[in-house]
Amino acid sequence: MIERHPMDQLLREDRIPHIWCSGCGLGTSLTAFISAIQASGVPLDKISVVSGIGCTGRVAGYVKLDSFHTTHGRAIPFAVGLHLANPSLKVVVFSGDGDLIAIGGNHFIHSARRNLDLTIICVNNFNYGMTGGQGGPTTPIGAKTTTTPYGNFEFPFNIPHLAAASGATYVARWTALDARRLKKSIQEAFLKRGFSVVEIISPCPTLFGRFNRQGTGLDILNSYRENTVIQHGADPAKVAIEPDGKIIVGKFVDIERPTFLDLVNEGLKGKVEVSYEKPQPEEVTVPSADE
Partner 1 sequence: MESNAAVLTGEHFITGNEACAEGALAAGCRFFAGYPITPSTEVAEHLSKRLPQVGGTFIQMEDELASMNAILGASWAGMKTMTATSGPGFSLMMENLGLGVMLETPCVLVNIQRGGPSTGLPTLVGQGDMMQARWGSHGPYEIIALSPSSPQEIFDFTIKAFNLSEQFRVPTLVMSDEVVGHMTEKVTVPAPEDIKLTYRKTPKVPPEEYLPYEADEDLVPAMALAGQGYGMHVTGLTHDRKGYPVISEEAQIELVERLVYKIRKNRDKIIEYREEECEGADVIVCAYGISARTCLLPIGMAREEGIKVGLLKLIVVWPFPEEHIDQLAEGVKGFVVPEINYGQISLEVERCAHGKAKVIHVPHAGGGIHDPTKVLEAIRRAAK
Partner 2 sequence: MDEPSTAEKSRFWRKPLDADELQIPKGKVHIIKERCKGCGFCVEYCPRDVLEISEEFNSKGYHYPFTANPDACVSCGLCDLLCPEFAIYSELIEPEEVEKGGK
The residues of the shown chain that bind partner 2, judged by CB under 8 A, are 3, 5-8, 11, 16-18, 20-28, 30-32, 35, 177, 179-180, 183, 216-218, 221-222
Residues 98-117 that bind partner 1 (CB under 8 A): 106-107, 110
Pick 1 or 272: Cβ nearer partner 1? 272
Pairing of the two strands 90-96 and 47-51: parallel
Distance CA 252, CA 160 (A): 8
The interface partner of residue 45, options being partner 1, partner 2, none and the CB cut-off 5 to 8 Å by kind, is partner 1
Question: Minimum CB separation from partner 1 for residue 45, in Å?
Answer: 4
Interface characters, 50-69, with partner 1 (x: CB under 8 A): x---------xx--xxxxxx
Pick 5 or 246: Cβ nearer partner 2? 5
Q: 192-214: string of b/e by CB count within 10 Å (b at 16+)?
A: bbbbbbbbbbbbbbbbbbebbeb
Pairing of the two strands 170-175 and 247-254: antiparallel
The interface partner of residue 89, options being partner 2, partner 1, none and the CB cut-off 5 to 8 Å by kind, is partner 1
Would you count residue 70 as binding partner 1 (CB under 8 A)? Answer: yes
The interface partner of residue 8, options being partner 2, partner 1, none and the CB cut-off 5 to 8 Å by kind, is partner 2
The interface partner of residue 68, options being partner 1, partner 2, none and the CB cut-off 5 to 8 Å by kind, is partner 1
The interface partner of residue 127, options being partner 1, partner 2, none and the CB cut-off 5 to 8 Å by kind, is none
Would you count residue 259 as binding partner 1 (CB under 8 A)? Answer: no
N-term to C-term CA, the chain: 30
Dihedral angle sign, alpha carbons of residues 204, 207, 210, 216: positive
Question: Minimum CB separation from partner 2 for residue 176, in Å?
Answer: 8
Stated as kind and residue range, the H or E segment containing 200 is: strand 196-201
Question: Minimum CB separation from partner 1 for residue 290, in Å?
Answer: 29
Pick 10 or 163: Cβ nearer partner 2? 10
Cβ atoms 56, 74 nearer than 8 A:
no
| 149 DSSP 8-state letter | T
Select from 166, 127, 125, 120 the least CA-distant residue to 144: 127
Distance CA 132, CA 121 (A): 22
SS3 122: strand
Cα torsion 34, 99, 200, 79 to 10°: value is -40
Question: Minimum CB separation from partner 2 for residue 122, in Å?
Answer: 18
Of 42, 84, 179, 240, the residue at the interface with partner 1 (CB under 8 A) is 84
Pick 86 or 222: Cβ nearer partner 2? 222
Cα torsion 282, 288, 290, 291 to 10°: value is -70
Residues that bind partner 1 (CB under 8 A): 12, 15, 44-46, 48, 50, 60-61, 64-71, 73-74, 76-86, 88-89, 106-107, 110, 264, 268, 271-276, 278
